[in-house]
Structure 1
Amino acid sequence: MGVLDLKQIPRVKTISKEVFIKEYVIPQKPVVIERLTEDWPAYTKWSLEYMQEIAGDKEVPLFDDRPINSEFKFNEPHASMKMSDYISLLKSQPTRYRIFLYNLLKEVPSLQKDFTFPDIGLRLLKKLPFLFFGGEQSTVFMHYDIDYANILHFHFHGEKQCILFPPEETKYLYKIPHALISHQEIDFFNPDFDKWPALQKAKGCVTNLSHGETLYMPEGYWHQMTYTTPGFSMSIRATPRGVVNFTKAAYNVFLMRHFDNLMRRLRGQKWIDYKNSKAITKTHKVNNIKG
């Protein structure tokens, strides 16, 4: 077993648009902005109790940490329950159940009055942001986003750990072919370097987000989120700034995703097993690892 090479993500209390673009967006470096949301009504209002009160009657999709297989895709829920029951579960005990990419602000329009789109120099997409909820120790496995967006990730209620790797570290992360994830058997908290030797070369970064803090994740960054306490987050996205990543995003959305779905239908679990095996052999070949 081993320890990943992770540095702490830089933090600032506040930041100007000009400094944010110059020091973080242009060089594509992550940063935590601690007080970006302090003037939002959400900063004082948003808690699990408030969400339970205002959205308790909504039926919500739930995900857990089971490996992707031929039955369940990356973005396909495993269960559902009323929001009130789900939040009661979060508050009563650790659970692996998460809410992932849920448009609660569309279901409960009054929540839209609780935040504003930050004037921070990004071309923010003004469609309604998604919310993410998780129970204590629930984890979103290591992945990067299909659209190569610049992401502002706002956390509320409790604390979550965020592990990030820049795109140039992909060759060490056992990326699954025709997918956006790393091999799901990897334990990024306690990696087995005998089984996953390329991980020893990967250089990433880490931070713990508390209520009201904002993480900027640059384009194509790998990320794994773990809720150290029950809580929830909201993400606002901005389009890629360059042609290269815009082209990669278009390929993912219009070609790669559909090809992978077709192969799932044609080959089922054999396709999943093939991709998992290929992730290992390709990573070891690229890094000249024998055996």
Structure 2
Amino acid sequence: MELDLQNIPRRRNLSKEEFLNEYFIPRKPVVLEDLTENWPAYKKWDFDYFREKAGDIIVPLYDGKPAKGRENSHGPAMKVPFKEYIDILQKGPTDLRMFFFNILQNCPELVDDFEYPDLGVKFFRKLPVLFVGGEGAKVVMHYDMDLANNFHFNFVGEKKVILYPPDQTGLLYKVPYSIVSMEIIDMDDPDLEKFPALARARGFETRLRHGETLYIPSSWWHFIKYETPSLSLTLRSLPKSPKKIAEVLNNLLFVRNYDNLMRKIRGQKWIDYKNRVAIKRTHRNAGIE
């Protein structure tokens, strides 16, 4: 058995109308190969540039270890100056990642290096964020709590991305009271005997290289593996429908807080319970005994 994945379409010279009608409105992913070629960031953005521009800024780093017991599910492994993190990245493989580095808050001059693309989409301009990771680092399969449409621009390195649409959620071992799949599942090399429903899910994959843009539609699941040390920018377009806004508020105000509260009260028993429920529900959805 293996995962059922098809390649994400790749396009060049895509017009605004084509993007809206073929991808954004029907909520389908696409790799835009040439969207950033005229941006200053296309030529400027590498680790030496960020060492110069943002090297002294203290950044939180996260590792790939699942939170255990009463640990908060969102706690950083360490905090170091950005330039020290770049040193770590360049020394060799590491699972340390930096995410949601807000350019406006931390280094606003970098805003001049990129543009908000004219794709007929309204971007949330207060949150241009960087994602950085070391060779071999992996991001657990998840969807975004704010249900944003993501435009992920890769500038340094190469990463592997696996996507699943929302209608495949029932086969992805979603953990209750969360937006993630089971953290022990390695989507880069999943144990399909232990987690057989994954082989029935229909998804998409690509490898994102320098200057390429991946459009990830709202509510889509994504797994990322950093094949090399990589740096990417994400611009977001937030949902507008009342139904989605209500779901976002539920995620932010109830789901996350309730989960962290139960971690503090029940510790590892709560985590183990959620994983048992995830397996039971997924196998029931897949008709697996």
Give TM class, smaller chain.
Answer: over 0.9
Q: Which residue of 1 aligns with 2:162?
A: 163
Secondary structure of 1:175's aligned partner = coil
Q: CA deviation at 1:248?
A: 1.8
Q: Residues 226 and 68 (structure 1 numbering): CA distance in 2 closer, same or farther, change over 3 Å?
A: same
Q: CA deviation at 1:38?
A: 1.4
Residues 173-227 of structure 1: per-residue CA shift (max 9 Å, x gap):
0000000100111121222221111111101000111111110000100001111
Contact preservation (8 Å) 1:48, 1:231: no
Q: Which residue of 2 aligns with 1:44?
A: 43
Q: Which residue of 2 aligns with 1:149?
A: 148
Taking the aligned partners of 1:54 and 1:72, their CA distance within structure 2 comes to 34
Taking the aligned partners of 2:287 and 2:130, their CA distance within structure 1 comes to 41
Contact preservation (8 Å) 1:219, 1:245: no
Secondary structure of 1:246's aligned partner = helix
Report how many aligned residue pairs link the two structures: 289
CA RMSD of aligned residues (A): 1.4
Q: CA deviation at 1:59?
A: 1.3
1:9 corresponds to 2:8: yes
Contact preservation (8 Å) 2:133, 2:231: yes
1:133-144 correspondence to structure 2 within 5 Å? 133-144=132-143
Contact preservation (8 Å) 2:73, 2:260: no
1:244 corresponds to 2:254: no
Taking the aligned partners of 2:14 and 2:71, their CA distance within structure 1 comes to 41
How high is the sequence identity, in percent, across the aligned residues? 47
1:31 corresponds to 2:18: no
Contact preservation (8 Å) 2:39, 2:113: yes
Q: Residues 98 and 72 (structure 1 numbering): CA distance in 2 closer, same or farther, change over 3 Å?
A: farther
Taking the aligned partners of 1:109 and 1:187, their CA distance within structure 2 comes to 36
Q: Which residue of 1 aligns with 2:230?
A: 231
| Structure 1: stretches of 5+ with no match in the other structure | none
Q: CA deviation at 1:78?
A: 1.0
Q: Which residue of 2 aligns with 1:198?
A: 197
Q: Which residue of 2 aligns with 1:187?
A: 186
Contact preservation (8 Å) 1:141, 1:181: yes
1:222 corresponds to 2:221: yes
**Which residue type is aligned with residue 99 of structure 1?**
M
Taking the aligned partners of 1:86 and 1:120, their CA distance within structure 2 comes to 34
1:118-133 correspondence to structure 2 within 5 Å? 118-133=117-132
1:64-83 correspondence to structure 2 within 5 Å? 64-83=63-82
Taking the aligned partners of 2:127 and 2:197, their CA distance within structure 1 comes to 39
Taking the aligned partners of 1:239 and 1:203, their CA distance within structure 2 comes to 26
Contact preservation (8 Å) 2:70, 2:265: no
| Structure 2: stretches of 5+ with no match in the other structure | none
Taking the aligned partners of 2:93 and 2:196, their CA distance within structure 1 comes to 31
Q: Which residue of 1 aligns with 2:53?
A: 54
Q: CA deviation at 1:260?
A: 1.4
Taking the aligned partners of 1:155 and 1:73, their CA distance within structure 2 comes to 30
Taking the aligned partners of 2:13 and 2:246, their CA distance within structure 1 comes to 33
Q: Which residue of 2 aligns with 1:211?
A: 210
Taking the aligned partners of 1:193 and 1:160, their CA distance within structure 2 comes to 23
Contact preservation (8 Å) 2:70, 2:266: no
Secondary structure of 1:102's aligned partner = strand
Contact preservation (8 Å) 1:72, 1:78: no
Residues 206-255 of structure 1: per-residue CA shift (max 9 Å, x gap):
01111111100001000011111111111111122433333222221122
Taking the aligned partners of 1:19 and 1:47, their CA distance within structure 2 comes to 31
**Which residue type is aligned with residue 48 of structure 2?**
E
- State which drifts further: 86-95 or 244-253: 244-253
Secondary structure of 1:237's aligned partner = strand
Taking the aligned partners of 2:256 and 2:88, their CA distance within structure 1 comes to 34
**Which residue type is aligned with residue 143 of structure 1?**
H
